[in-house]
Amino acid sequence: MACHSPRRQPVNAFSDPRIVEIFDWTEKRKEKALLTCLSDSYAHYRELACLGLATIQDTASCPHLIRLLDDPHQEARGGALYAIGQCGCTQGIYSLLDYLKNSALETRSPEVFQALAHVCPPFEDDRAYSSVQRDILLELANARLLTEKDFCEWGRAVCLLNRKGCDWRELHAAIPYHLQYAGPQSRIVLAYALSTAPYPWAAENEKYFMSWLKTERYDQVRIPLMKLLGQLDSEDAEKRLVAYAMLQPVHEPLAIAAVRALGSVSILHPDILLPLAGHPSDFVLEEFYRTLASRSRPVWDDSFVPPARRSIAAEAEMHKLRFLAGHDPSSNELLALLGNAKDTYDKVAVIRAMVVNQEFMPLLRDEYILPDRPSAIRSGATEALLEMHAAFASREDFIANYVLPLWRTHEPGVQTVLAAWIAAHPAEAARNEALLELMSATLKSLPLPLLLETYNEVAAALTACGIPTEKAPLAGYRATDWELIQSIPQNQEVEIETTKGVFTVALDVNLNPVSAAQFIRLVREGFYHGKYFHRVVPNFVIQAGCPKGDGTGGLNQMIRSEFFSHSYDTGALGLASAGKDTESCQWFVTHVPTYWLEGRYTQFGRVIRGMEVVQTIRMGDQIFSTREVSPTD
């Protein structure tokens, strides 16, 4: 016994060669091989094969997946239901309905709710519900929910149906009943289900809603309730929203949600809004000024001027609002602010505030889209110019005087922004042959897959102008490094040190091995050191990892999507992409639940420590270092 060495424990699931084989088939998109696994004797292999088919998303696999609804093991049934939904198997609708009707509550797989929502046809405003839609809605409205996962999956299904335009009152009427029995996580989901309904649910159920609002103490549930409160459109609602935004200690996601909801109140009273002008959070203050500026008649009072020493971005939004409200006819303050901004992303914030004055158009074109400017500034200035053109309807030839000179800078970020605008305004661009020739030449010269996002936008613009283009050839996939994958511990942790502090993510290598390995490889190479958070959308995501700093950069090798994990809750770690199977180096973390990302973006981990740091990160904050740390569990 003294000479016997203990057996080495596997660090993750990929010590099993069968699992390696299933994931390798998924990564190489070998659908036929995965279909053979659906009859495997081991339920876990059947489940993984189903999840692989969900990643491929080919409707041809649906008849085979439907047969698994009679599988004796719940994990295999759950995988099949998830895959049926992701593949959009409309021919399986009545098989799903039969499963929901006839399965026992104790053995029913909760994935059936989302599957039904995915396969339900979109709703149209000018048509009555079809018989298929009505059958689905009736079954969902009358479904009995037993477990916390039941409540979560059912709520996600309602969120998805809302995005398809479902305004069926009977379905939403079931939510207050379910809230009596829901746990903390499912309460969040159900609140989002009501806040995304395509009609003013709170206004129609004001008595119940106000009772719920008074008793709700969980901030994650309160966030979607702010949007519902704004639906009441009254002075009382305005006062309550301001009170929630000013709660101490400051909870920024809740405060931002409250400020945004003020945009729904038809008449705003400056005396009620005044406390917000002194909010301690610059991020909330920016959102406050942005919300006021978005209104057709901005509400403004001289007492709203913020205290000194605010962030550049907050000051820029304040000057923009003053200009819109007619209190500041001079442009000197914005020019001075731009001169004082030392940080690239602060300059971008000021440039985007300059859209209020068309006098800035030549300045932005001639000074801030030069080759020596950072990519983020050039892209931001281009976006501002396009917004100015739309706002002021300049009589000069915008294509000749602005679009053509900007396109000839050969900056991919600038071309990406311009191409998106051209695709939305093809009539104006199609008349200029020089521009069309430039765009066609650009499309042929772009290196792929390095500039895939630019290629896609330019191709879409040409197509909109009546010039057919070919789909980008998706070559350059990185070979799967199974040796690296097998060395990564399950729930491997990575510590990310930023300008605002440290947060830690745990990677789900067992379900997303290729994505986790890509991230680990870049972490070990120090790729993320010095990169910036180039995109921050409050109450949505923070995004980083772009080598160009404006969101259009990537690597010259891509990896394929992995949709094995599907729970985009608060703190989910996902990979950005330019479409399915185009993941590279950019990643994001969600501020709040973002259920609409599921099945569209790879989720390969989650924040396990430091979510409060994530919530404070702003555009332009920097990553100082990333390093692997030992898993805590």
Q: Which of the four pLDDT bands, split at 50, 70 and 90, describes residue 632?
A: confident
Question: Residue 499 contacts by C-beta under 8 Å, 6 or more apart in sequence?
Answer: 617, 621, 622, 624
pLDDT at 233 over 60: yes
Q: Which of the four pLDDT bands, split at 50, 70 and 90, describes residue 334?
A: confident
As given in the structure block, the two tokens for residue 578 are 């330019």
Q: For the chain, what is the radius of gyration of the CA atoms? A: 26
Lowest-confidence pick of 108-117, 203-212, 335-344: 335-344
Written as one letter, the residue type at 596 is W
Least confident window among 86-95, 347-356, 393-402, 517-526: 393-402
Predicted confidence at residue 354, as pLDDT, reads 92
Residues 6+ apart with CB under 8 A from 597: 568, 572, 574, 590, 603
What is the rounded average pLDDT of the residues 589-598?
Answer: 91
Mapped onto helix, strand or coil, the DSSP state of residue 559 is: strand
Closest Cα to residue 241, out of 257, 220, 224? 257
Terminal Cα distance for the chain, rounded: 29
Residue pair 433/467 in contact (Cβ under 8 Å)? The answer is no
Mean pLDDT of 327-339: 79
Query: Residue 390 and residue 424: Cα distance in Å, rounded?
Result: 12
Answer yes or no: is pLDDT of 11 > 50: yes
467, with CB counted inside 10 A (0-12, 13-18, 19+), is middle
Per-residue pLDDT reduced to its tens digit, 271-298: 999 999 889 998 999 999 999 988 877 8
pLDDT band, very low/low/confident/very high, at 328 (cuts 50, 70, 90): low
Q: What is the pLDDT of residue 356?
A: 87
Q: How far apart are CA 29 and CA 214, in angstroms?
A: 51
What angle is formed at CA 131 by the lines to CA 130 and CA 132, rounded to 5 degrees?
A: 90
| 8 Å CB contact between 116 and 136 | yes
The DSSP annotation for 191-225 comes to HHHHHTSSS-HHHHTHHHHHHHHHH---HHHHHHH
Q: Which 3 state secondary structure label does DSSP give 48?
A: helix
- The whole-model pTM stands at 0.92
**pLDDT average, residue stretch 20-47:** 95
Which H, E and C letters describe 290-312, residue by residue?
Answer: HHHHCCCCCCCCHHHCCCCCCCH
> What DSSP designation does 534 have?
E
Per residue, what are the HEC states of 423-484? HHCHHHHHCCHHHHHHHHHHHHHCCCCCCHHHHHHHHHHHHHCCCCCCCCCCCCECCCCHHH
**565 pLDDT above the threshold of 90:** no
Is-contact 601 576, C-beta < 8 A?
A: yes
Q: Which among 162, 116, 110, 119 is positioned nearest to 139, based on CA atoms?
A: 116
Q: Which of 309, 373, 319, 385 is nearest to 347 (CA)?
A: 373
Picking from 551, 533, 553, the residue whose alpha carbon sits closest to that of residue 543 is 533
Whether 7 has a pLDDT exceeding 50, the answer reads no
13-175: CATH, from 1.25.10.10, 2.30.29.30, 1.10.3720.10, 3.40.630.30 = 1.25.10.10
Diameter over CA atoms, the chain: 90
Strand positions, DSSP E, 274-385: none
Reference 608, options 502, 535, 477; nearest CA is: 502
What six digits make up the tokens of 27? 């990564």
Kind plus residue range of the DSSP H or E element containing 40 = none
Higher-pLDDT residue of 495, 282: 495
pLDDT for the residue 584? 94
The pLDDT value recorded for residue 628 is 96
Angle between helices 332-340 and 344-353 in degrees, nearest 10: 170
Q: What is the mean pLDDT of the chain?
A: 91
Q: In what order do the strands lie in the sheet with 572-575?
A: 533-537, 541-544, 587-590, 572-575, 603-609, 501-507, 493-498, 623-629
Residues 32-63 as b/e (b if ≥16 CB within 10 A, e otherwise) read ebbbebbebeebbbbbbbbbbbbbbeeeebbe
Lowest pLDDT segment from 303-307, 478-482, 515-519 = 303-307
Q: Where in the chain is the domain with CATH 2.40.100.10?
A: 482-629
pLDDT score of 507: 96
**Which two structure tokens, joined as six digits, stand for 378?**
């050039």
As a whole number of angstroms, the distance between CA 534 and CA 521 comes to: 21
| Whole-number Cα distances in Å, 464 to 231, 293, 308, 415, 446 | 37, 32, 48, 16, 19
The amino acid that residue 115 corresponds to is A
- Can you give the pLDDT at residue 168? 93
Domain 482-629 CATH assignment equals 2.40.100.10 = yes
Angle between helix 252-261 and helix 219-230 axes, rounded to 10 deg: 10
Instruction: Report the SS3 class of residue 181.
Output: coil
The structure tokens 């379910």 sit at: 178
Q: Residue 71: pLDDT above 90?
A: yes
Calculated CA dihedral for residues 484, 486, 488, 491, nearest 10 degrees:
140
591 vs 336: CA distance, rounded Å: 33
- Using DSSP, how many helices (H) and how many strands (E) does the chain show? 32, 8
Strands 572-575 and 493-498: unpaired
Q: How confident is the model at residue 332 (pLDDT cuts 50, 70, 90)?
A: confident
pLDDT of residue 6: 46
CATH 1.25.10.10 maps onto the chain at 13-175
Structure tokens at 340: 């004082």
